[in-house]
Structure 1
Amino acid sequence: MDWSLQTSSGQVRGGSSAVTLNTPSSDALLNDIRRHLVRERGFSVATLNLDHVVKLRGHKEFRDAYARHTHVVADGNPIVWLARLSGQPMHLAPGADLLHPVIAIAAEMGLPVAFVGGTEASLVEAATRLEAEHPGLRIVARISPSMGFDPTGAEAESVIDQLQEAGAQLCLLALGAPRQEIFAAHAQERLRRTGFLSIGAGLDFVSGHQRRAPRVMRALKAEWLWRMASNPRRLAGRYGRCFAVLPHLVVAAVRSRKVQS
């Protein structure tokens, strides 16, 4: 099956499936999130990286969920470079980096916030730290689904009920891909005024249950290397598959640029 990467103003390569990067930077995203929250309009934010690209190629439900997200940003330098190679300006907007700015908006506005994903211990610690750092933050639900969580199954419906009862207007999802994106798209059908932001391990970074790469590694665009060295058994295969799709995407980006010129 073919796969294509699009930007809001151009396509890197046509194909039977496409993901659209429709938000060029974290600043643009944060401004739009604020507008949605002020107007009590729901939204869903997906953060595209190469691991998602690999999963999207063979996972129709994941592709369908991505297509229903209101915002897609580039979470990973390869995605940024590919977009720019195709002639479209994109800037890095990792989910973990978006967590604090989005929480700050919610605290400023006094909006009810929910966490879904991770362990109960991690959620409690993350909530404690975020409430200390962001005065006025209102965390109304901390939900730790089971290990075999089905993002569209009976447990998902129960989680949606809990979010609705709590009145959550912002929900941070730490379920990992593709579950968090599939759940966001599914929950958005019922919770029209709730905003969903998929942040992967973001809450675990806040709580200290996982350690993020040092700033110097991030500045050198080598966060992936730090992560792989930290857990090579789990991540070596994942990054190998990510690197395997890069040549195809580079060629597609170059062809797209030629078509546009």
Structure 2
Amino acid sequence: MASAMVEQEQASRFCQVPILGLPVHMIQIPDVVEVMTHWVTHERFRPHWVVVADMHAVVEAHNRADFRRMVRQADLTVPDGISLVKVAQWKGGAVRSRVAGTDLMKAFFFGTQGLGFRHYFYGDTDLTLERLAGNLTRQYPGLTVAGAYSPPFRPLTEEEDEAAIRRINEAKPDVLWVGLGLPKQEQWIYTHRDRLNVPLVLGVGAAFKFLAGTVQRAPDWIGDMGFEWLWRFACEPRRLWKRVLVEGSQFVGLVALELAGWRDFS
């Protein structure tokens, strides 16, 4: 009972602002690192799920009721993207900057050095995972990579899926980072979390590629101005055109209706 009360206090410290019906916590990276560290060190009895939500996640949750139900069960939903930060501010949310998956990973690795946390990376390609592990162990002395697995780009068989979960659990990680891209990574976490013996799990999308150096991330000044999406679109137009043009337009239109009070998406 006492443990459950502590966990509830951790989750309720930060208010939530609904954006197109998806509640997003008003929280900054240092506080996210603090909460995540607490869960790993004191609340190890179940996987705690952090959703790193960008515009794509919000639109996906609006368009798909099943996805919305999934991500609403996360323990923490953080705002990744200047568009979410601005909307939250317009709605009275006390949030100053975005919580990008790449920045969160770097802050967590730095802030937990010396604690002996074990990290497992699930997703992306063998090349990305190899470079990711090498870069992280060089940049963060003492960081332990408990394991990594690149699943095939097709649905896993039941036997393959069971083997993947078994490998993760046998590695005894403290944190499971999932880089399958949204919404696939959130669906994977939702489906498998009851079988995972790990206190913390997050989906971080393209962060594996950025930290591995297999894809160049936008310079900090572009991200600070809120134009990282434009950089990524210029680098990968074929893959991201729908997200940027179609979903971006839908997001702007729906938010305008919500802020004007003409629609309620709660």
What TM-score do you get using the length of structure 1 for normalisation?
0.85
**Structure 2 match to 1:244:** 249
Matches within 5 A, 1:182-221: 182-191=187-196, 193-221=198-226
| In structure 2, distance between residues paired with 1:169 and 1:208 | 24
| In structure 2, distance between residues paired with 1:61 and 1:124 | 34
Match of 2:86 among 66, 81, 84: 81
| In structure 2, distance between residues paired with 1:186 and 1:107 | 31
Shift of 1:207: 1.4
Contact 1:83–1:253 (CA under 8 A) maintained in structure 2: no
Contact 2:128–2:208 (CA under 8 A) maintained in structure 1: yes
Unaligned residue ranges in structure 2 (runs of 5+): 1-13
Match of 1:164 among 164, 169, 194: 169
Contact 1:45–1:197 (CA under 8 A) maintained in structure 2: yes
| In structure 2, distance between residues paired with 1:70 and 1:102 | 17
Contact 1:23–1:29 (CA under 8 A) maintained in structure 2: no
Any runs of at least 4 consecutive aligned residues in structure 1 with deviations exceeding 6 A, and if so which? none
Unaligned residue ranges in structure 1 (runs of 5+): 1-6, 257-261
Kindly tell me the number of residue pairs found equivalent between the two proteins. Answer: 245
Matches within 5 A, 1:142-181: 142-149=148-155, 155-181=160-186
Contact 1:46–1:198 (CA under 8 A) maintained in structure 2: yes
**Structure 2 match to 1:94:** 100
- The AA in structure 2 aligned to 1:118 is D
**Structure 2 match to 1:116:** 122
Query: 1:185-243: per-residue Cα shift (whole Å, max 9, x none)?
Result: 23321225421121111111111111111122112211111111112222222111222
Matches within 5 A, 1:17-32: 18-32=21-35
Q: Would the alpha carbon gap of residues 113 and 12 (structure 1) be closer, same or farther in structure 2, given more than 3 Å must change?
A: closer
SS at match of 1:113: strand
Shift of 1:158: 2.8
**Structure 2 match to 1:224:** 229
Contact 1:8–1:20 (CA under 8 A) maintained in structure 2: no
Q: Would the alpha carbon gap of residues 52 and 20 (structure 1) be closer, same or farther in structure 2, given more than 3 Å must change?
A: same
Work out the percentage of aligned pairs sharing the same amino acid.
Answer: 24
SS at match of 1:188: helix
| In structure 2, distance between residues paired with 1:102 and 1:153 | 33
**Structure 2 match to 1:67:** 72
| In structure 2, distance between residues paired with 1:104 and 1:57 | 35
Matches within 5 A, 1:6-45: 8-9=15-16, 11=18, 18-41=21-44, 42-45=47-50
Shift of 1:114: 0.2
Contact 1:54–1:241 (CA under 8 A) maintained in structure 2: no
Query: More displaced, 225-234 or 112-121?
Result: 225-234
Query: 1:79-125: per-residue Cα shift (whole Å, max 9, x none)?
Result: 11111111112231011111112223454211221000111111011
Contact 1:115–1:141 (CA under 8 A) maintained in structure 2: yes
| In structure 1, distance between residues paired with 2:219 and 2:121 | 25
Contact 1:85–1:254 (CA under 8 A) maintained in structure 2: no
Shift of 1:50: 1.2
Shift of 1:129: 0.9
Shift of 1:40: 4.1
Contact 2:132–2:208 (CA under 8 A) maintained in structure 1: yes
| In structure 1, distance between residues paired with 2:58 and 2:66 | 13
